[in-house]
Each structure stands twice: as structure tokens, then as C-alpha cells.
Amino acid sequence: MVTAYEELWIRSSSAFPVIGKRVGLFTKLLKQKSTSRFLKKMEKQLKHMTSDIKQEEKIKIMQALEEQEFKLIGSRLKVFNFFAERKYTASTEDFIKAAREFDRDIQLYDISQALRNVWIMNSIQILFGMEVRMTPSVFGYSMLYPYSDNYIDDTSVSLDDKLGFCDRLTHRLSGKHLIPINQHEEKVFELIGKIEQEFPRALNPQVYDGLLFIHEAQVKSFNQQKQYHPLQRVEPLRISIEKGGTSVLADGYLVKGRLSEAEAFFLFGYGVFLQFIDDLQDLREDMDNSHETVFTEAFKEGKLEEATNRVFSFIDDALVYTDIVNSDDAKRLVSIIRECCKQMLLEAIAGNRGLYRRKYIKALEEYSIFRFVYYKRLKKKLSQIFNSRELLMLSRAMQFSV
């Protein structure tokens, strides 16, 4: 699958992308003003909200979210309504509560990062026509991100400590029962235990193969940290494809237990373009830390714009492989994924706009719902508003019935 998606990347167009309708400056300013006003109002509501939320309050908040969504993107997707009706919010609430119980010292950043994977696994549940819920495996695997992935990426941790942890984690994922050597490792092994409770090893070999695949890909990503290993020129693309693809492939196994060849191929591609978006979001940080990715290499070669264009095309090309998408819910979800990922790309470009030509930024900005300078202020405001309590309150408020 790595080779197939590597070839797809090479075939994807590097021409300026077809994104959608242009958004004029006056419309952008109206959307920014509306969003700032909405967030200020939402912040006030969430701070005064208690756990005993009345049905009328839930309906008002949901209506406010839907109205704001309409102001930003129109009525075509109805994202908030789609996810609320399919119990994403219940899954979110269950996860936040479980994360707090698992680790009282867990930081908001870690919860937010883990939640991204929870939502990806919830989306896979929809693709497969399953009930959306927070299972032991959804919790265990999503929480492994802040406890293992971030540890491996932490530049303050020595290479010897990382390699020792990776070696022991390999043994634990392979089924060996090791005694943890510290509190950090104890937490990681406990999370793996939650997966083992839901998916017994003897009956679900694909689940643990999937976990080993993503772990091996993460270990290989050490090669992107130049201070640890010299990098061969052909590796950055392959590393990102393998790391992203195996991550969502593992999500799929942990949702369903077993996957068909078509299901595995589709989910692998889903992970690949999410990884490309992550890499583009982290471009400046990767350059500062001498981590080599597709985009740091493209920047050095003066081809960042071509590589960025290719991501837009790659998303469309990867989502063509939709043999498994049969239900109306699944088809609608794929449309939402396509549109949301392109907006995420625009936000990532906005965050790194100093690395592009002004002409290119101006051309792309025409398709953004906001001015690029606004994204930074928006991100800061969202981080101020949505701590773990506010996320919990919002999740409860979005669980409604009419």
C-alpha cells in the first residue's frame, strides 16, 4: 500500500488547485466579525453552564451552532447537525471523562490531540455502518498518542531513552507481559491492556498487526529527526505515507477487528492525506528542529507551492477509492471529510504564509472563508475558550432530541 500511495502522490497534479467558489474580501470580513461575536457569546454561555443542562438550553446552543455554520459555509453540509445526530458528542463526553479519570494531570493539549483520533475512529464507525461510541479500544489507542507518539517526538528526550522505550513497547505490543519500569510506561501498558480486553489476541491477529505496523512506522520516523540519523533523499515521502497510513489503518482494525482488502486500502489513504496536512501544519516547527518531511525538502528545493498543490489533488484522488462507501451516511461523511480537509489545508498554509510567494498566498486566500491573518487570532481564541471543562459542557449541550 505504501508503494501504491507513493505512486498516487507522484501522479497527483501539482497545478494550482480547484478548491471551490471565491470568497470576496467584504464577505470574509463579515464572516470574521460574525465568528468573533459568536465565540464571545459561546464563551460566556459555557462558563455559566452546569452539568444539569435543560433541554431548552441544548436546543438553543445547537441552533446557534447551526446558524453560525450556515453563515460560514451555507446549508450544504450541515456538519454540526450530522455529527450531533450520530452521537459524536456523546462519544466526546465519554472520552473526556475517561481521560480525566485515567490521568488527573492530563493537559488540555493532550486531550485535544487524542480527541482528533477519537473522532477519526468515530468516522470509521459511520463508514462501516456501526454505532458511534467510545469503546475501550477507541480510548486506549487514542490515548496512546500523548503517551507514546509525543514522547517519541519530544526533542528533550535522549535517543537512548526513546529507543529503549520503543524496544519495550514492541515487545508489549507483540503480546509479552513486561513489568513497567516507570510511571509513564505503566500508563502506556495499561492502555494496551484495555485494547486486549476488547480484542483477545488469539481471535484478532489483525488488530495487533495493525498496532505493530504503526509503531514500526513511528520508529522509522526517527529518520526525520536529522540530529539522530542522516536521511536518504527518497525517505521523507515514504516515511510520511507509512506513518499516516498505518495510523488510520490501525484505527480501522480497532473499530472493526477485521478489514477487507478494499477497506484497508481506503483507510490507509485516509491516513496518508491527514499526515500530509499535519506535516504542512508543522512545517515551520519541523524546519526549526531539522526534521525532514516532504514539505521541508520541497521548501529547500524551491518547490513548496508545487508540493502544496499536490496535497489538494491527492485528497481528491485518494477519495476516489470509495468501493466501501455505500450508505448515504458514509457518502455524506466522505463529502464532509473532503471539504473539511481542504479548509484545514488553507489554515495550515495561512500559518506558514511567510514561506510562500505573496502572489501564491493571495491567489489561495481568495478561496478561504477568512483572511489568512485571522486564522492565528481564531486559533488563540479557541484555545482560550475550550478547555476540557468547556469541551465537556459543549458535548453535553449538543446531545439533544427534538
State pLDDT tens for residues 311-339: 999 999 998 867 777 788 888 888 888 88
pTM of the predicted structure, to 2 decimals: 0.87
Residue 234 has pLDDT above 50, yes or no: no
Lowest mean pLDDT: which of 86-95, 220-229, 250-259?
A: 220-229
Work out the pLDDT band at 364, boundaries 50, 70, 90: very high
Give the residue-averaged pLDDT of 62-71: 80
Q: For residue 378, is it within any domain?
A: yes
Is 242 part of any domain? yes
Q: Which residue has the cell 453552564?
A: 49
Count of structural domains within the chain: 1
pLDDT band for position 253 (50/70/90)?
A: very high
pLDDT tens column, 305-316: 999 999 999 999
Instruction: Compute the average pLDDT of residues 65-91.
Output: 79
CATH number of the domain at 126, please: 1.10.600.10
Cβ–Cβ under 8 Å, residues 254 and 208: no
Whether 362 shows a pLDDT value over 50: the answer reads yes
Burial, 7: exposed, middle or buried (Cβ in 10 Å; 0-12, 13-18, 19+)? exposed
Contact 28, 72 (CB under 8 A): no
User: Residues of the chain with pLDDT > 90: what percent?
Assistant: 50
- Please indicate, yes or no, if residue 96 is contained in any of the structural domains: yes
Q: At what angle do helices 304-318 and 261-281 cross, to 10 degrees?
A: 150
Q: How far apart are CA 169 and CA 335, in angstroms?
A: 37
- Among candidates 268, 332, 392, 275, which has minimal Cα distance to 5? 268
Quick check: helix, strand or coil at residue 76?
coil
CA distance 173 to 54: 45
Q: Is residue 146 part of a domain?
A: yes
pLDDT at 387: 62
Cα-Cα-Cα-Cα dihedral of 319, 322, 326, 331, to 10°?
A: 10
DSSP class per residue in 183-222 = HHHHHHHHHHHHHHHHS-GGG-HHHHHHHHHHHHHHHHGG
- pLDDT for 53 equals 67
In a domain, 402, yes or no: no
3-state secondary structure of 225: strand
User: Which is higher by pLDDT, 298 or 158?
Assistant: 298
Q: Which domain holds residue 193?
A: 2-397
Of 73 and 9, more confident: 9
Quick one: pLDDT band at residue 109, thresholds 50, 70, 90? confident
Res 98: pLDDT: 93
- Which is more confident, 15 or 218? 15
213 grid coordinates: 505496523
- For 88, other C-beta atoms within 10 Å of its C-beta total 23
Residue 389 lies in a domain: yes
Q: What is the per-residue pLDDT across 287-296, written as a single tens digit (0 to 9) for each? A: 988 888 999 9
Share of the chain above pLDDT 70, in %: 89
Encode pLDDT of 110-148 as tens digits: 888 888 899 999 999 999 999 999 999 999 999 988 888
Q: Which cell numbers in the block locate residue 281?
A: 501544519
Q: Using CA atoms, how far apart are residues 193 and 208, in angstroms rounded to an integer?
A: 12
24-28, 82-86, 362-366: least confidently modelled range: 82-86
- The answer to whether 214 and 246 have CB atoms below 8 angstroms apart is yes
